[in-house]
Amino acid sequence: MLKHRLHSLGLLTLTCLGLGFGSGPAWGSQFGQKDVDQTKYAVIAMPIARGGYKLLVVEQVSNKRPCWAENGLQPTVIDPLLATFDFTGICGRSMDSNGYSIRVEQQDLGMEYRLSVEQQENELYLVGVRNRGGAEAKMVIGRTNGLVPGAFLKINLEPNWRITRRTFEERTLGHVYFTSDSMQAAFTPAAIQANPAPPATPVVSQTDAPTSPNTPTVPKPQAPQPITN
Query: What is the average per-residue pLDDT within 140-154?
Result: 96
For 172-185, write each residue's pLDDT tens digit: 999 999 999 998 88
Confidence class for position 21, pLDDT limits 50, 70, 90: very low
Confidence class for position 187, pLDDT limits 50, 70, 90: confident
DSSP for 107-123? EE-TTTEEEEEEE-SS-
Residue 96's pLDDT is 95
Confidence class for position 136, pLDDT limits 50, 70, 90: low
Note if the pTM is more than 0.85: no
Q: Is the pLDDT of residue 51 over 60?
A: yes
Residue 132's pLDDT is 80
Residue 29's pLDDT is 58
Whole-number Å distance between alpha carbons of 152 and 134: 30
Cβ atoms of 165 and 36 closer than 8 Å: yes
> Which residues make Cβ contacts (< 8 Å) with residue 166, sequence separation at least 6?
20, 31, 32, 33, 34, 108, 172, 173, 174, 175, 176, 177
Q: Is the pLDDT of residue 24 over 50?
A: no
For 97-120, write each residue's pLDDT tens digit: 999 999 999 999 999 999 999 999
Give the SS3 label for residue 141: strand
- Return mean pLDDT, the chain: 78
- Residue 118: closest CA among 138, 88, 98: 138
